[in-house]
Amino acid sequence: MFSNIVIGNMIHAEIVKSQYGDDKEFLSITLAVEDRTKTSIRIKFSNSNGLLTAFKNGILVTGMELIIYQFNVNLNSIKSKDSQYIRQDGSTGQYKYTQMTLTNVSASINWASAPDRNNSENVASKAPEMVGTAVF
């Protein structure tokens, strides 16, 4: 287990239903993160409690900053940007960014990044340039 803090901007979130036929669901999240050398990576994780509730209630929106302060990294989940994958149609693609999947994540919302509810500006439109940093 790594004991670092990762701060990143949520660039994708969607509610996913359990594949086991029960009524359980979770929030699948992708963060955009840069390290100290400005290398951009994508971090993926899921949450089935507080962040899921905040997302359902419209409090957590794409573009907001999340702080991850406890997590496990499955080393075989790290995929370099040079790695290829197979699409559903059978063709191959290449990752644009290095990505890794985390488990047992504890995260909180950085409320300083919350959109002004009185301002109609779409926070999600800023997501590409809003990239957090990883503290290693």
Q: What pLDDT score does 136 carry?
A: 33
CA torsion angle for 17, 13, 119, 116 (degrees, to 10)?
100
Q: What pLDDT score does 27 carry?
A: 93
What are the domain boundaries of the chain? 5-135
What are the angstrom distances between the C-alpha of 106 and each of 20, 36, 116, 122? 24, 22, 25, 27
- Three-state secondary-structure class, residue 59: coil
Asked whether the beta carbons of 45 and 29 are under 8 A apart, the reply is yes
Q: What pLDDT score does 49 carry?
A: 85
Q: What pLDDT score does 114 carry?
A: 63
What's the predicted TM-score (pTM) here? 0.72
Q: What is the mean pLDDT of each run of 10 residues along the chain (136 residues)?
A: 76 89 88 87 90 91 88 81 86 88 84 57 41 41
Q: What does CATH list as the number for 5-135?
A: 2.40.50
